[in-house]
Amino acid sequence: MKKYKVLRVEWTDIAAYSTWRDKDEQQKCDSLLCTSCGIETRVKKGNLGLMQSISETNDRSGTLVIPRGNIKKIEVLSTFRV
């Protein structure tokens, strides 16, 4: 059995605007502070992986990959074993 952490992660994401904006409106555009929760999983170095689900056979579903440089805060909510 392997031990897993359930994490709450606050991170900054890009924002994209596809409509015309005047100069004043464009200068108000900013990145977005996001919050995601999930089971920590290993992914490529420099990133944090959060998966939505894991089965008893170790199959995984719903992986979100967040660049570590975008992470503002990580909180461990709980741990469990599969």
Q: Give the pLDDT confidence score for residue 68 in this predicted structure.
A: 97
Question: How long is the chain?
Answer: 82
Q: Give the pLDDT confidence score for residue 17 in this predicted structure.
A: 85
Q: Give the pLDDT confidence score for residue 44 in this predicted structure.
A: 94
Question: What span, in angstroms and rounded, lies between the C-alpha atoms of 81 and 3?
Answer: 4
Q: Give the pLDDT confidence score for residue 18 in this predicted structure.
A: 87
Q: Give the pLDDT confidence score for residue 13 in this predicted structure.
A: 97
Return the structure tokens found at 55.
Answer: 């089965």
Q: What is residue 19's DSSP assignment?
A: S
* Whether pTM exceeds 0.75: yes
Domain boundaries, the chain: 3-81
Given a cut of 50, the residues of the chain with pLDDT beneath it are none
Q: Give the pLDDT confidence score for residue 1 in this predicted structure.
A: 83
- Look-up: residue for tokens 């502070």? 33
